[in-house]
Structures are given as structure tokens and as C-alpha cells.
Structure 1
């Protein structure tokens, strides 16, 4: 998932099972051995500075009585569309959406793709052409950034792009020892999912026909370059500092398995002539919930090194799969446990901090609202009011990263639209 979730965290001290893909044109000595870094998974806000945003004092007193169970559908719908309009306000004429309001980068680790899911949800709820236009402009922008000429990278994207035309890739370090990242599994997979959403919403195959080669290349890249011997997807390809050789980072994020499932299942539905997409989707759906669930902790793990035990780490990168995987895979016993775990982490005021030393990230509440209904469960009555009163900007209707943060996150805002409108990953 996306780096505008900040600087991607270090998962291990050494690059595990690194595999050479190709030699970068930028030069270097070709040496390896740099420390491994995760491609930051949890889509909370960027740790970078300089992004525009309004004051961290958010919310209005008039909405403090709202709850997830009693807020009317019309009120939640209005709120969702205001957030969707915030996303449209950030989108430039060519379709690019910045990682944060006013920031200079786009689609860092798939941020824009999550925002576009929100626009798809808004169009599905309203059939207002402006949301469809935003979705389709975004898909076109992504297709134009996809590598389709270099055989070694065909079907992949760079980790981050400039918001200034011609939208050049922005080398981005996710952590110590790594100069840049590309070939993130989620980015390739989510492009295909967005095409699927467009077809479902419009009943038209026009975009699928136009970008069919792009979509197939994206899924084929993941199958050829990201899948570990375990059958699960490894995160990304990374360029160590001082090296010209891209190396595979095989860490298996739980949330990434969900992203790849969305893309592969979408591919199976769009391109039934290729059985590999359906086979990988079935494998992930049948195995991810049980294999990435920590029975002792009653929650999903953040992930694991391939062949290693599940990571027990806590943090925002761990919070994300607790609500995301239930939304992606639908009802199952593990996801019920994960949602209950999130409910148990909710403080009396509606905030979620895990561990307690972390800020109360907006993503935590948003992802709980997204995932709970898929398990026939309700988030606490304080979950939505906390968002309204602490992180929903009363002027722009963007969602701040956490209370007091100036950063208004487009990816989290996209998830919020989908959650408030009750969007399902698949019908």
C-alpha cells in the first residue's frame, strides 16, 4: 500500500531473499546487501512536510450526537459526498490526485488508487457524472504512467510521481539504505480493480477495451515478479543506496494480499480467458484469512517474511488490515475476530490508539467503519462522531491524518467515502 502513509517502516535489518531483477540505468556499482525496508503498508498520512492543509482544529459541535448506528443514511451520504467533492477539488485537469491536499506528489504507494475507490463509491451512490469523470480521468492518468515498453518492468509503476506535468517519477526512500522503490504489488493490482469498478458502474466495456493490455500487463507483472514460493505476494522492488541493481523485497504484507486479491479477482471477471487470474484470486481468498490471522492475539498480523512466523508488531500498519481484509474478503470467522479486536481497542471517546503511544490516526476509525458491516457488526457509536469532531475538516471536508495534523489525506478520504456509503468490494 502507499508510502504517503509516510516513510515506510523498517521490518528487518537485512534484505531477505533479495533477487536481482535488472540493472538501473542510473549507474552504480551493482552491489547489494543494503538493509531491507518495507514498502510502507498502512495508508495513514505522509510524514513529509510542506503539504497544504487547514488547521488541525476540526469538527463542529452540532454533530457531536451523531453515531454510526443512529446517524441517518442521508446524513452519512451527505458527509460522504462532501468528502468525495474534496477529492475532486484536489484532482488536476489530467486526473492526478495528490497524496495530501496541496502536496507535490501523486500515487505514492497507491494513494491515488484508494482515493479513486472513493470516487467510484460516490458515483455508484449518485450517478452524478462528475464522480465518474474523476474516476475515469484518474484511470487514464494511471495508465499513462504505467511502464509498457521496458520488458523487465512492463505492467508496473514507480513508487511516487510528481504532481507537476509531465509527472516524472520521484525517487523516494522508504527507509535507511534504500534509494527508491518500484513494482509495488498493490499498485499494479489496484489499477485492474479500478477498471472493473468502472465497468460495473457504467455497464460499458469501453475503458476495459482501451486499457485491456495495461490491465493484463499489470496482473502478469505481479504473477511473474511479486509472487513468492509460498504463493503469497511480496511487496515491491527496491534500489539500495549506491547500487544500480533493483532487488526484490519479499515481505508478505497481509493488506497487500487483499490488494492483490482485488486485482486478480477483477482480472478473472474481466479476462476469463486467462485462468491464472482466477486461480490466484481463489488461492488468496481461501488462504489469507486463516494464514495471516494470529489466533492468540485475535487479530490479523501486519505480515511476515516469507516462510517466517507472523509479525506480532503493533502500530498503524497493523491496524489497517483489521478492517481492510474484512472488506476485501467478506465474512469469515477471522475477520469477525479482527473487527472485535478493533472495537476492543476503541477508547471511550471513540479514538483508537494501538499502541497507546501512537497518535489516534483517522485511518483506524475509517477502516473500522469500512470493515465492520461486512461481518454483520457495528462500530461503536462513538467511532463516527470522533471522526467528525477531530479529523474531518469543516471547511474542505478532507480527512486529517490525526487530530492536530495539517495533512489532509486523499487515500484515507477515499476509504471514508466508501465506508460511509456502504460500498462492497464486490457485489
Structure 2
């Protein structure tokens, strides 16, 4: 009877996730909340704890980053990234993904990639490199970047899960595993991706378009390409303030002695530290760069962040309600399975990323299961980071569509069969490479 009830409730959870995925956006949160109502009123489960700490971190980080965007800070960061990519055009399949990764880590969002896409495409094509290679890996790299950013929504969800007793696995413990794992994963993936598809000189489709005059032949000596953004001193100052805030969070994570003490005389956790630092960063941006506050709700970062917060609220509350009612059963049953084959945990995060295209949702849904199963935190963090590539397994994300549209050569394709698009292989390669390296680093350096 107990097993049948468990399976029925699990089907309710999975059904709500599927329906939320079909609705997308805020629909994820709505279906999550509806799932809580079914579990509470129909199955009489005690409601779980809403993810308040994670939501507060997301809200304040989104506010600060939206202030930066309104002041022109993201445009300034894009201009710097474009210059870095342009310095090594022949190695663009490696350099562009690494730069896209690093700037997404700093900004806490993959939205920074959009203005870089035409830069990457133009530099690759002019140097005779198939644009789909750097474009596809750059897009996928921004997925794993959010497991390495102190100010991403996914990291907010992760920190609030692990930075508590009995785990006490803090932000810096996660970053020292995820950042090197992701970088090594990107480097490994670049060697594979650099061999995907035919070179421009050998691609009959591209050569046919060049011969017909529809497409200009590659010319490496053409005028230097620049990102289509307006750079201002206010934007530069806003970006510097925001990045200093990110650096301050890392410093507080590294040195507990710098943190204020709580009532028990212990250093306070990183959750309020992140919130306070981001509030201060947003206020300084307001004072120094003077963005128009009325425009903040119209910023793309703000809109995307609010949607993520709503989805996180509903689905995280749903999974916490279900897991809280079956902690012992999951720890004994699923726990033994995951302990024997930890890659099942990585597969779970990967699949939820595929279905929801939300790393924060995947974190709140699957990481509690890994914690209940007793997976070592370092190992869990490394696999968690690599699995984030899963959001690009299907060609449904805005950055994938934008990359295909910006590629005038036509080499970047969205496909027609869900598995024949330009991002499918880079997604799998980066996921496997980062999960494998992350697991290794997690065992060596993690807890």
C-alpha cells in the first residue's frame, strides 16, 4: 500500500513538471503550486518549506544585474568580450566558448551571449572556420557557466541546499570544483567540436552559395568586427561595481573570519552575505551610473529572472513537499541505487534540464535526492555542473535560435528531428566531459 501511494504521488509530481514544461515560463511555477495543492489536500501530505532563501537571493541578484544592464554595464562587458575573442580568431572554437563562459559566470546570466553571436560568426567565417563550431559550443558553455557563478539563480538554489547542517558545504567549496571542471570540459569539447562538419572550403552547400554571389567569400583581412552595442562610461562603472560585488562574495566565501557573527558567535552563512552584497552593489550602481529606475522592469535580465523565480518557487515547493514525506524511503531505496551508480544522479539533473530548460529547477528537484542518498558533496557538485549542459539538448532555447539566425553561412542548423541540430553533439560532449572531470575533481577536492 505504501509503495503504491508513493508511486501515485510521484506520478503527480512528474505530471505537474511535464504540464509545466508544456506551458513553459511562469507555467512551471503555476503547475508546481497546483501539485502542492494536490499533495496536501488529496494525499494529506504536510506542505514542504517554500524555497524562501533561494528566492530572496534570486530577487536581489536579478535586481542588481538589471540595474547594471539598465546602466549599460552588460554592453560594456560584451565589448570587452568581443575584443578578447578577436585577438585569437584562428583558435575561435576554443577562445569564444571560454570567453562566453567567463563572462556568463561574472554576469550570472547567459543573456550576455546574444550580442556576441554575430561577432563569433563573423570572425569564424572570415578566417575560414565553420561558424557552427564556435557558435554551438559557446551557447552550450553558457549553460555550465551558471553552475560556476556566485550570482546565478541555480547557484542560489544550490547554496541554500548545501550551506546548512549537516552538510555545511559552502559557496567556495562548490566553486573550487565546478569552475575548473567546466573549464577543462570546455577545452576537451573544443577539440571534438572543432572536427564537426565540413570546413568551409569543403562544404558544397556553402561553396555553392559563394559561387552564386549569395554569400561573400571569406576574407580574413576585412575590417575588424565589433559588437553592436553602445559603450558608455556609466556602463563601464556599473559593470565594475557589479563585478566587484561578485568578487566580494567570493572573498567572504574564502575567508570566514571576515563575516559578521550570528547570535551563537559563528560566522553567518553565505545566504545573507550574497543578499547584502548585491543590495549594496545595486545601490552603488544607482548612485554612480544613475540608470533610469523606471526602466528596470523592462530589462531582459529582470524579466528572465522573475520568470525563473516563479518557476523555482512552485516546483521547488512541490518537490520539497514530496521528498519531505518520503525521506526515509528515498534514502533507503533510491539512495542505495544512486550510491552504487552516482551517474544516475547526473542523469537526473540532465533530464530535468532537458525538460524544463531551467538549471535552478533541476537543482531544487534533483539535488535534494542526491543529498538524501548521501552522495559526497564534492562529487555531487562536479556532476551537477556538467549536467547543466542538458538545457541545450533540444533546439528550443532562444540563444540556439539566435545563433542559427546570425549564422549567414547556414552552417548552424536547428534541424527537423530534434537530434540533427548543431548543438546536439556539443551538448553531449560537454556534459560528459564536465561530469567526468567534475566527479574527479570533486573526489579530490570536495567534501
TM-score by length of 2: 0.29
Give 1 or 2: higher strand fraction.
1
User: Which structure has the larger Rg?
Assistant: 2
Which has more helix, going by share of residues? 2
